[in-house]
Amino acid sequence: ALFVLGSFVVACSATVARLPRAGESLEAQAFLVEPGGKGLNLAVGARRLGGAVDGILAVGDDALAALAGPALDRAGLPPEMLHRFPGPTGAGIGFTDASGENCLAVHPGANARLGAVEVREAAERIARSTLVLAQFEVGDEAVAETFRIARAAGLRTLLNPSPFRMPSPEILAETAILVVNAVEAAAFGTAFDIPVPEDTAEPPAFTALAGMLLARGPDLVVITLGASGAIAFPAGHPVLVQPAFPVAAIDTLGAGDAFTAGLAVGLAEGRTLSESLRVAAACGACVVRHKGVFDALPDRAAVAALLRE
């Protein structure tokens, strides 16, 4: 099984003609409330592609927590993934405009309470898995402990440092696969004082940054660039470029999560990096074609249909 460390977030999103300005109140054309969070998205994305999935998802004890059980059930994920804490469930609010552009804010709620204790309780389940995924909607302590257990068991780990904060040297050292989008690549660039041009998807523009990251632990760095595709830097091997599939984007929310789930399932199944990148890009493209994320995450048939188009 793939093991996914958090997060669970109830995602509320308003569809608007354009993103509101400060102080402005706009009428929304649609409003969607769905179970989400990067952890749930990764878990559902991987499960729909046929992979067995386990993990830890934290919820609070408020009304929003009630959305979690049925969501796991509907996605075919084990109920043991859920961990209950007193207090609020993670929740997010976002806007998507007519061009598919979005902005959002997420309150971590229960996700921030996941710590090394809860992770250690799941140590056997982690060690039994094939690949371990984490993102930054949960705290450093939980990520570090999860990756320590995984690496001690000889497993590969995948980190998507989103929302961005600088990973500790320890977490980076225990990361095998680092997946970042353009925003996160730029943030690493700033932290390392390496210029990362914003207006190009040419691999050479990212070579210095990738080299810096590869020197700190990962053996694979993947940079996703939205409609410009993705670039993979495998340590000691030539760079791979994966173009995006040309689709009409309706809502780009969740593209990175879908991509990461596809990449993880591909690699866990023993596919080559280039095959896995192709599946990942197809997953990202499938999600941007639909409003929302949960129901938009593709199954194998949807990915195959896109690959045939």
Answer yes or no: is 162 a known binding residue: no
Comparing CB distances to ligand ADP, the nearer of 10 and 244 is 244
Stretch that binds ligand ADP, among 6-14, 195-203, 251-259, 268-276 (CB under 6 A): 251-259
Comparing CB distances to ligand ADP, the nearer of 171 and 249 is 249
Is 12 a residue that touches ligand ADP (CB under 6 A)?
A: no
Comparing CB distances to ligand ADP, the nearer of 76 and 243 is 243
Q: CA-CA distance, 174 to 140, in Å (whole number)?
A: 12
Give me the sheet containing 30-36, strands edge to edge.
30-36, 9-15, 90-96, 102-107
Inter-residue contact 146 to 126 (CB < 8 Å): yes
Is 284 a residue that touches ligand ADP (CB under 6 A)?
A: yes
Between the alpha carbon of residue 142 and those of residues 3, 100, 111, 117, 158, the distances in Å are 13, 33, 10, 8, 14
Answer yes or no: is 296 a known binding residue: no
Please count the residues of this chain forming the interface with ligand ADP, following the rule CB under 6 A.
19
Given 281, 296, 297, 302, the residue binding ligand ADP (CB under 6 A): 281
Q: CA-CA distance, 45 to 28, in Å (whole number)?
A: 28
Given 35, 51, 256, 266, the residue binding ligand ADP (CB under 6 A): 256
Comparing CB distances to ligand ADP, the nearer of 208 and 225 is 225
CA-closest candidate to residue 230, choices 212, 251, 255: 255
Between the alpha carbon of residue 217 and those of residues 168, 224, 275, the distances in Å are 11, 19, 24
Stretch that binds ligand ADP, among 39-47, 147-155, 163-171, 221-229 (CB under 6 A): 221-229
Answer yes or no: is 65 a known binding residue: no
Answer yes or no: is 157 a known binding residue: no
Q: Which residues are catalytic?
A: 257
Residues 6+ apart with CB under 8 A from 214: 221, 233, 235
Inter-residue contact 261 to 302 (CB < 8 Å): no
Given 226, 241, 290, 291, the residue binding ligand ADP (CB under 6 A): 226
Q: How far is the CB of 72 from ligand ADP (least distance, A)?
A: 23
Answer yes or no: is 41 a known binding residue: yes
Answer yes or no: is 76 a known binding residue: no
Q: CA-CA distance, 276 to 53, in Å (whole number)?
A: 18
Is 181 a residue that touches ligand ADP (CB under 6 A)?
A: yes
Comparing CB distances to ligand ADP, the nearer of 230 and 268 is 230
Q: How many CB atoms lie within 10 A of CB 215?
A: 10
Find where tokens 């939980």 sit. 142
Let me know the angle formed at the C-alpha of 251 by 249 and 253, rounded to the nearest 5 degrees: 125
Given 4, 110, 244, 306, the residue binding ligand ADP (CB under 6 A): 244
At 44, which helix (H) or strand (E)? helix 38-48
Answer yes or no: is 227 a known binding residue: yes
Is 227 a residue that touches ligand ADP (CB under 6 A)?
A: yes
Residue numbers 148-177 binding ligand ADP by CB under 6 A: none
Footprint of ligand ADP on this chain (CB under 6 A)?
181, 224-227, 229-230, 244-245, 247, 249, 252, 255-256, 259, 281, 284-285, 288
